[in-house]
Each structure stands twice: as C-alpha cells, then as structure tokens.
Amino acid sequence: MEQAQAVRDYLQDLQSRIMAAVGAIDTHDYVKDAWSKAAGEPLQGDGVTCILEGGSVFERAGCGFSHVRGPRLPASATQHRPELALAPFQAMGVSLVFHPRNPYVPAVHMNVRMISAAHPGQEPVCWFGGGMDLTPCYGNADDARHFHAACRDAVQPFGEDAYPRFKAWCDSYFFLKHRNEQRGVGGIFFDDFAEGGVENGFALIRAVGDAFLGAYMPIVQRRKDTPYGVRERDFQLYRRGRYVEFNLVWDRGTHFGLQSGGRTESILLSMPPLVSWSYQFVPEPGSPELALLTDFLVPKDWV
C-alpha cells in the first residue's frame, strides 16, 4: 500500500532526527541495532532499535522503529474494534523513552504509530495512535507549561477540542490504578484514531512527532547541569519504580508487543537501567518530594 510506505518513510526519518539530537547533546555514542523477523516466526517484519546507555546526559535513551506483520491481531488492539479480532494486521511506529541521569531532568515518552488490519477479502481498516508525556521526579511548573504548550500547538490544526480531549485522555491513560496516582504531569495521548481518514490520521502523527524535540530538548538543556546529591538520586530511583509498574501492568503498547510475539528487547527498551522500591516511603513535610505528589502528580490545566 502506497500510504503505508509514506508512513514508514516518515517514521524512519523521525527516528533519525531524534537520535541526531540525542547524539548532539550527549557525549556518549548510541548503538543502532537493525533487526528482522523472518517467515515462520510469530511476526514478520523489521526495525531499528537505537539506544544510548551510560551517557553523560541520558542514563538510558531508547528510540525504536518497527514495522511488523502478523496473522492475528492481538486482543490488546481490538478493545474498540471487536470485528477485527484475529484479523491479519500490520503495525508500524516509533516509540521512545528517555531516562536522564540528572534527577532534575524529567523522563519522557513519545510514540506515534499506525495499525492496519483486515479479514481476507475485506478492505484494510487503518487507525493511528500516539502522544507524548513528561514524568518528572522533581516538579517544575515552567517545564510542565512549556511541554504542554508545545503539545497544544502541535494539535491545534486538528480542532479547538483536540488538545483538551487528548490531554484528558493522557491524564486518564497514564494513571497507576493500583496506586491511585498519575504517572507524571501528562501531555497528550490518542488511540484508535481514524477521524478524517488515513490522510488526517497520518497528518496528526506527523504533527506530534515533529513537535517532540521542541517540547522536550529545551527542558533538558535547562536542567541537565543542576547540582544534585544522594537524596535526589535515591528519590529518582524510587520514582522510576512507578514507571516500571505502569509499563508492565497497564501499558497497552507493551502488552500488544509481547502478545503479538514482538522483539522483547525492543519492546522493553523503555525500562530504566537502575531502579529501586522502598516499602512505605513517606516524604518529609514541606519537601520537594512531597510537592511532586501534591502539586504535580494531579491532573491540572498547565496552559
């Protein structure tokens, strides 16, 4: 399908641009790992996983492109499309998670993707998904406002209701139900998007993908040299535990990849390199650690 090739070309270029920006800000080189899945495996397809570990700015920064095809659409992708259950499908996307070294630099996630499915003899049905969200360990209102303003501006051409709708969707989705806690300060999120047809969906994921570097890299530049000590580092590792919990327990993208027989290392590139859990951690009154919980990890209109 000609449109699928256009989406693929865009996604590969997006990955290259993002990793070039990572390479320009970090002194450590990243690894570019091209892979393919041959006939006879649960999925067929190919991809490129780019990952930087042990850098001066990013302790782990992973950005993966994948384009896979399979005989049966996983259940995690048919929640709103039961008529496509077990249909042959193809899926392609770019997904990234950056875990910074400095606790004052927030972690970030961004994903844009297209899925197409059809039972034999039927026309393919295409839909799109994606978004980006910010997860600080130490909250900063200026950073949250900047990030949300970039998200708002990216989706503005798709209607006045696009940002409020996608922001609320993000707040609802990136929520740890077992903790009754937001994962971060949010951003935008959309799934099963087919409004306006394929061209409109493709335009939306391009708008989000192209806005990512402007939304996140200025925050990195402002915070990467902030002094910190053992206390901040310990809290960072503790908060990363929440990230792991969400990705493994609730994230539909992780479930889709694992259920469909995807490449495990690429699916789990979002995991932080170091993390800790503490039994019944209680932040001190008046501390910035408590402020994260009370002032930032709550749904809020940042712009």
146 is catalytic: no
Residues composing the chain: 303
Answer whether 220's CB lies under 8 Å from 249's CB.
no
Residue 148 to residue 4: CA distance in whole angstroms: 30
Alpha helices in 79-196 (DSSP H): 141-155, 162-173
CA distance 14 to 18: 6
Interatomic CA distance for residues 187 and 19, integer angstroms: 21
**Which candidate in 28, 67, 80, 109 is catalytic?**
109
The three-class DSSP label of residue 228 is coil
Give the Å distances, CA to CA, from 192 to 73, 80, 90, 180, 189: 14, 7, 14, 25, 11
**SS3 call for 8:** helix
Classify residue 109 by burial, with Cβ atoms within 10 Å: 0-12, 13-18, 19+: buried
Contact between 88 and 69 (Cβ < 8 Å): yes
Which of 115, 45, 130, 44 is closest to 73 using CA atoms?
Answer: 115
Residues labelled catalytic: 109
